[in-house]
Each structure stands twice: as structure tokens, then as C-alpha cells.
């Protein structure tokens, strides 16, 4: 090969290995679930930790496929989970000692495949600020729901209550997490 041809071939773009590695699953995007409540220190903090624990126990292979994040529609960055919800988490065999609240950002909304809020006003707040999230924002019970819509309800807010008063929230949260992950398995996502 003469020098002019060598120079030309040196300037040509090299084929990227990324498509091959992506097809091999090495760079595949994780399915990202964002759980959200008002301040990201009670319900969404608990659900974030519980969902990660549930996946670890029941779908251990899913760690490469699913990512859980949390935020609050009125959250300040860096607040820790409430002391009562930390205690409730410990009772259910996981820890929230590292949890730090996060507000919604454009980046978070873009990363999310689905945003699960606890109440209708939170869904409205997300969509008012981020209308591009219309097709991926749901009240938790709405998401992948197969029953009658009249049975969809908000996830109860135990903020400010004692540990014993968290029972209704825990029951709703746990049953919804189980239902959602069962449906995501049927959809082939996990």
C-alpha cells in the first residue's frame, strides 16, 4: 500500500465495538423505576429500599436488568429517611441508613422508564413540571394494573405516625411491589 492510501485509511473512522458489545448485553440499559412521594423521606424511601431487597431475595439475576431510584416532588436534596421509617425498614430486614432524599430533575425523568408516585397530586405535580413524562408516570397501583379502575387507590401516608401505625402502608406497599415485579416478569423485563 502506498503512503497516500495509508494516510487515507488512517483518517477513516474505525468500526465501533459498542454495537457488538451491546448485543452481547454488556452495555444494555437497565430498566429504571423511580418511586416518588412528597419529600422522599418516608414512602418512596421505604419503597426504594424494599424494592431493592425484594429483587435481591426473589429475583437475584435482576440486578443487571433493573435499577431502582427514588425522588420527591417537593424534596430537598440530602435529607435522611425519617427515624420511624428507618426503624420499620430494619424490622423488614433492610436498612435505610444511607438514604438521601432527591428532588425531581430533568436527568432523573429522562433516565426513568417508569415513575411510580403514591398519590394523584404527585402525579399531577410531576406532569406539570415534566410533561414529557406523560407516558411513564403512574400512581403505583395504576401501573400494570389488570383489575377494575375503581380498585386503584393511593398508597397511604404514615408520615408522623408511630411504628405500629405503619401497618396499612406496609401492607399496601408490599403487595404492590410483589404485583409489579410479577407483572414485569410476565412482560419479560425481569
Q: In what order do the strands lie in the sheet with 114-117?
A: 66-72, 31-37, 114-117, 137-139
At 60-99, the pLDDT tens digits run: 988 889 999 999 999 999 999 999 999 999 999 999 999 9
**pLDDT above 50 for 147:** yes
**pLDDT above 90 for 105:** yes
Residue with the larger pLDDT of the pair 160 and 18: 160
Exposed/middle/buried for 147, CB within 10 Å: 0-12, 13-18, 19+? exposed
CA dihedral 112, 113, 118, 121 (to 10 degrees): 80
The rounded distance, in Å, linking the Cα atoms of 74 and 17 is: 42
Residue with the larger pLDDT of the pair 112 and 164: 112
Provide the residue count of the chain: 190
Span 28-41, mean pLDDT? 93
User: What does the pLDDT read at residue 9?
Assistant: 42
**pLDDT above 50 for 122:** yes
Residue matched to cell numbers 459498542: 18
Was domain 28-186 assigned CATH 3.30.70.890?
Answer: no
**pLDDT above 50 for 15:** no
Is the distance from CB of 167 to CB of 36 less than 8 angstroms? no
Report the share of the chain in percent with pLDDT over 70: 85
Averaged confidence pLDDT in the chain: 87
**pLDDT above 60 for 36:** yes
Helices 43-58 and 83-91 cross at an angle (nearest 10°) of 20
Q: Which three-class secondary structure state does DSSP give residue 21?
A: helix
Q: Which three-class secondary structure state does DSSP give residue 112?
A: coil
Q: Where are the domains of the chain?
A: 28-186
Report the share of the chain in percent with pLDDT over 90: 70
Q: Which DSSP letter does residue 36 get?
A: E
Q: Give residue 25's pLDDT band: very low, low, confident or very high (50, 70, 90).
A: very low
Q: Give residue 28's pLDDT band: very low, low, confident or very high (50, 70, 90).
A: low
Q: Which residues contact 29 (CB under 8 A, 6 or more apart)?
A: none
**pLDDT above 60 for 146:** yes
User: What does the pLDDT read at residue 20?
Assistant: 37
Span 153-174, mean pLDDT? 89
Amino acid at each position: 500500500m502506498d503512503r497516500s492510501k495509508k494516510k487515507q485509511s488512517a483518517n477513516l473512522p474505525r468500526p465501533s465495538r459498542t454495537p457488538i458489545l451491546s448485543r452481547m448485553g454488556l452495555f444494555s440499559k437497565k430498566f429504571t423505576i423511580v418511586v416518588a412521594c412528597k419529600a422522599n423521606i418516608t414512602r418512596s424511601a421505604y419503597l426504594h429500599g424494599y424494592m431493592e431487597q425484594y429483587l435481591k431475595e426473589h429475583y437475584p439475576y435482576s440486578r443487571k436488568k433493573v435499577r431502582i431510584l427514588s425522588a420527591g416532588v417537593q424534596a430537598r436534596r440530602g435529607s435522611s429517611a425519617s427515624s420511624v421509617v428507618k426503624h420499620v425498614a430494619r424490622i423488614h430486614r433492610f436498612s435505610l441508613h444511607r438514604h438521601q432524599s432527591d428532588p425531581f430533575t430533568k436527568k432523573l425523568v429522562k433516565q426513568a422508564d417508569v415513575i411510580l408516585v403514591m398519590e394523584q397530586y404527585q402525579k399531577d405535580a410531576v406532569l406539570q413540571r415534566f410533561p414529557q413524562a406523560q407516558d411513564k408516570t403512574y400512581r403505583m397501583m395504576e401501573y400494570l394494573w389488570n383489575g377494575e379502575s375503581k380498585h386503584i387507590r393511593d398508597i397511604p401516608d404514615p408520615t408522623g405516625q408511630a411504628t405500629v401505625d405503619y401497618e396499612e402502608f406496609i401492607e399496601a406497599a408490599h403487595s404492590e411491589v410483589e404485583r409489579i415485579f410479577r407483572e414485569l416478569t410476565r412482560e419479560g423485563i425481569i
